[in-house]
Structure 1
Amino acid sequence: MTNSTSATKAPAKLNPTLKMALEIGPLILFFVANARPALFHWIVAPVLPPGITPEKTAILTATAVLMAAVVAALAVSWIMTRHLPIMPVVTAIAVLVFGGLTFVFQDKSFIQIKLTIVDCLFGAALLGGLAFGKLLLPVALDSVMHLDEAGWRKLTIRWGLFFFALAGLNEILRLTLTWDNWVKFKTFGVLPLTLLFALAQTPLILKHEIKPEADTEHF
Structure 2
Amino acid sequence: MAERQINPKLKTALDLGPVVLFFLGYIALRDREFVIGGTAYSGFVLITAAFVPILALSTLALWRLTGSVSKMQIVTLVLVVVFGGLTVWLNDERFFKMKPTLIYLIFGGLLGIGLLRGQSWLKLVMDGMIPLDSEGWMILTRRLCFFFLALAVLNEIIWRSMSTDAWVTFKTFGLTLAIFAFFMTQSRLFRDHGTSDPDEG
Provide TM-score, normalisation by structure 1.
Answer: 0.82
Q: Equivalent of 2:48, from 57, 60, 63?
A: 63
Match of 1:211 among 175, 196, 201: 196
Q: How many residues align?
A: 195
Where 1:152 maps in the other structure, the secondary structure is helix
The answer to whether structure 1 residue 133 and structure 2 residue 125 are counterparts is no
Match of 1:158 among 110, 120, 143: 143
Query: Is contact 1:14–1:77 with CA below 8 Å preserved after alignment?
Result: no
Structure 2 match to 1:29: 21
Kept after mapping to 1: 8 A contact 2:20/2:172: yes
- Provide the identity percentage: 35
Offset from partner CA, 1:74-127 (integer Å, 9 cap, x none) = 111111111121111110110000001001111111000000000000001111
CA drift of 1:59 comes to 1.4
After TM superposition, the structure 1 = structure 2 runs for residues 117-128 of structure 1, keeping only pairs within 5 Å, are 117-128=102-113
Q: Does 1:20 align with 2:5?
A: no
Say yes or no: does 1:107 pair with 2:99: no
Letter in 2 for 1:18: L
Which 10-residue stretch deviates more, 187-196 or 129-138? 129-138
Q: Does structure 2 conserve the Cα–Cα contact (< 8 Å) formed by 1:126 and 1:137?
A: yes
Alignment partners' CA distance in 1, 2:118 and 2:6: 30
In the alignment, which residue of structure 1 is the partner of 2:177? 192
3-state SS in 1 of match to 2:130: coil
Pick one of 144, 152, 166 that aligns with 1:167. 152
Structure 2: distance between partners of 1:89 and 1:25:
17
Whole-angstrom CA distance in 2 between matches of 1:63 and 1:100? 8
Deviation at 1:13, TM superposition (A): 4.1
User: Residue 19 of structure 2 aligns to which amino acid in structure 1?
Assistant: L
Find the aligned partners of 2:7 and 2:111 in 1 and give their Cα distance.
26
Give the superposed CA RMSD: 2.1
Q: Distance in 1 between matches of 2:192 and 2:171?
A: 32
**2:42 paired with 1:50:** no
* Pairing 1:178–2:163 present: yes
Where do 5+ consecutive residues of structure 2 fail to align? none
Q: Distance in 1 between matches of 2:168 and 2:93?
A: 11
Q: Which residue in 2 is equivalent to 1:6?
A: none
Report which of the two structures shows the higher radius of gyration computed on alpha carbons: 1
Structure 1 runs not aligned, ≥5 long: 1-8, 39-44, 213-219
| AA matched with 1:191 | T
| AA partner of residue 99 (structure 1) | G
Q: CA deviation at 1:22?
A: 1.9
- Aligned-residue offset at 1:52: 4.2
**CA shift for structure 1 position 203:** 1.1
